[in-house]
Amino acid sequence: MTTPTREIHLARRPTGPPDAETFAFVDRLLPAPADGQVVVRNLALSIDPYMRPRMNDEPSYVKPYEIGKALLGGAVGEVIASANSSIPRGTKVLHSSGWREHALLSGDQVKVIADGPFPLSYHLGVLGMPGFTAYLGLMHIAEFRPGDIVFVSAAGGAVGGLVGQFARLSDAGKVIGSAGSEEKAAYVLKDLGFHAAINYRSEEPLLTQLRRASPEGVDVYFDNVGGEHLSATLEVMRDHGRIALCGTISSYNGGSGTTVPGNMFKAVAKRLTLKGFLTLDHEPVRPAFEAAVTDWLASGQLHYRETSTSGLDSMPAAFAGMLQGSNTGKAIVMLPG
């Protein structure tokens, strides 16, 4: 049995924000699965910031996307044809061949998702890569301790919103978040339960707002943004503070944004630890993450939101929008059956 499907290819490398010319929709006919393979119907596709730097032709920790080939990314779906006895039809799986409606994959390219009480799409967010990033970065990279004053940027998004909640649920002294609108700042404060929220796009400078939110300073900064956010936070860090360098989204679309603060001497004078990290180096931490987050979710203590669009056609605009802040919580694309 063949499967007609559609996928999104990288048509052209963007030099700034991605636009319609970046992407090409391609129709394909997938062959029946060969021995050991399965065909997956994707049900939800992940939209993640790292996909933008991966569109650049430059060496990094992961191979750049190739022009004329289907883009890759996290996805969850259901096996609809199987030539693999351990992954029968109907099995729900997580894999890395997103940006398409169906995927033909070998058994070792999918991770089986056991039936559970949470929506399947949560495995792209709170129970998946972004959740693991938040837990790992806070608990292990920044070496969080109860009583710490924690600041996190992009706090209205997938990773940032979880970082602040994990800190609050683990007895942080104070949790402060920054986000790009009044609405998102209100969400961070009221829905996520942060102690203070900053709209970094308001007229008042970020540093002024940070000083007011925490006159005592900051012990842990979870940096999703880089550039001016990092520069302002260096000013308010306490001596021996820890900074988890998670991402620099302010530079992903290129342009004039620099990610190197001019006040790095503050890191020396305050004896700070700044540590970059990638989840792929820290698999042994995953069981602790899964246990903690499953408990918090099941007990209703964790607030989790998705911003979803519907259909493969919506994906390019949803991706470009996420890079500019159109999402609250985790950005995903749902593919209705």
Q: Which residues bind ligand NAP (CB under 6 A)?
A: 48-50, 129-130, 133, 154, 156-160, 179-181, 184, 224-225, 246-247, 249-250, 277-279, 322-323, 325, 327, 331
> Smallest distance from the beta carbon of 335 to ligand NAP, in angstroms?
20
The H or E element containing residue 183 is helix 182-186
Q: How far is the CB of 58 from ligand NAP (least distance, A)?
A: 15
Other C-beta atoms lying within 10 Å of the C-beta of residue 126: 29
Identify whether the C-beta of residue 232 lies closer than 8 Å to the C-beta of residue 207.
Answer: yes
Greatest alpha-carbon pair distance for the chain in Å reads 66
Smallest distance, Å, CB 233 to ligand NAP? 12
d(Cα 82, Cα 80) in Å, to the nearest integer? Answer: 7
Smaller CB distance to ligand NAP: residue 226 or 241? 226
Instruction: Determine the length of the chain.
Output: 337
> How far apart are CB 154 and ligand NAP at their closest, in Å?
4
For ligand NAP, the closer of residues 167 and 323 by Cβ is 323
CB of 230 to ligand NAP, least distance (A): 11
Amino acid present at 286: R
Tokens of 71: 């883009």
Apex CA 152: angle with CA 148 and CA 154, to 5°?
A: 170
Q: Which is nearer to ligand NAP, 97 or 250 (CB)?
A: 250
**Shortest gap between Cβ of 322 and ligand NAP (angstroms)?**
5
Nearest CB to ligand NAP, comparing residues 113 and 249: 249
Tokens read off for 165: 């909640």
Of 148 and 228, CB closest to ligand NAP: 228
Q: What is the Cα–Cα distance from 165 to 163, expressed in whole angstroms?
A: 6
Structure tokens at 289: 């993450």
Nearest to 119 by CA among 308, 328, 288, 284: 308
* Of the candidates 233, 216, 127, the residue with the CA atom closest to the CA atom of residue 178: 233
- Residue nearer to ligand NAP on the CB measure, 135 or 296: 135
Nearer CB in complex with ligand NAP: 96/181: 181
Report the C-alpha gap between 179 and 219 in whole angstroms: 20
**H-type alpha helices, 31-170:** 129-135, 158-169
- Based on CB atoms, which residue is closest to ligand NAP, 5 or 153? 153
The CA-to-CA distance between both ends of the chain, in Å, stands at 18
